[in-house]
Amino acid sequence: MEETHNNQTHAPQSQDLPAPEVSNMKAANDLPKLLLASSSPRRSQILQMVGWPFEPGPIEIDESLRDGEPAREYVSRLAEAKARASAEVHAHRPVLAADTTVVVDEHILAKPADVDDGKRMLRLLQGRWHQVLTGIALLTETATEVDVEMTEVRFAPMSEAEIDWYVRTEEPMDKAGAYAIQGKGARFIEGIKGDYLNVMGLPLRLLYEMIRK
């Protein structure tokens, strides 16, 4: 103990040490408050989880798929439309909007229309890989940025009894692709390649990169 104490007394004083990069630290932690143009509790949960300040500004738009529209263009278009519509109503910047969809065999699986549609989607997904795409739109006073994150997810094989049970929980009924990876649907997920939060509905790393530009 004595030897340690003596060594400390001869250590350089604080003024001799290089100053920390306070400005860079502040910039890294200085997250702008967002207007979240979404009623999704999952997206709110993700922002709350990392302490990103936001206020809700949900907006309703027509989410109909256009004939022949690719999935990437579809989620990009909807995300930007939501951001612009919310900005007009709430007159607040910056605005964040997102839209998530599921793609299998180039077919877009949005939210199921009813129980039978939910079962149909789960039968398509079970035992195979599919893609989850989320379009993000960030609208500020000076620019509009839109980008897309893609994650691959593999579903385990499901029996008809498991499909019936899962649909009866009602969890799939307001989810793209008829499942929630953060909910009861997690028991059917065999693998994932990419951003887990993207499957929940908000790829946080992509958002952070867009904010830092």
- CA separation for the pair 139, 86 (Å, rounded): 10
Q: Is 67 a catalytic residue?
A: no
pLDDT in tens, 8-65: 434 444 344 444 444 343 344 689 999 999 989 999 999 999 999 999 988 889 999 9
Of the listed 99, 116, 117, 147, which one is catalytic?
Answer: 99
Angstrom distance (rounded) from CA 92 to CA 96: 10
Beta strand extents in the chain (DSSP E only): 34-36, 54-56, 95-104, 107-109, 129-139, 144-155, 189-193
| Cα gap 112→175, rounded to integer Å | 7
Predicted confidence band at 148 (pLDDT cuts at 50, 70, 90)?
very high
Q: What pLDDT shows up at residue 83?
A: 95
| φ, ψ (nearest 5 deg) of residue 36 | -90, 110
- Domain of residue 103 covers 2-212
Q: Angle formed by the axes of helices 160-168 and 115-125, to 10°? A: 130
Which CATH number covers residue 20? 3.90.950.10
Return left, alpha or beta for 178; rule: phi > 0 is left, psi -120 to 50 is alpha, else beta.
Answer: left
Amino acid at 48: Q
Task: Quote the pLDDT of residue 201.
Answer: 96
Query: Is 90 exceeded by the pLDDT of residue 203?
Result: yes
Of residues 78 and 88, more confidently modeled: 78
CA distance 197 to 124: 23
Express as a percent the part of the chain with pLDDT over 90: 76
What mean pLDDT comes out for the span 60-87? Answer: 94
Q: How many domains does the chain have?
A: 1
Cis peptide before 94 (omega within 30 of 0): yes
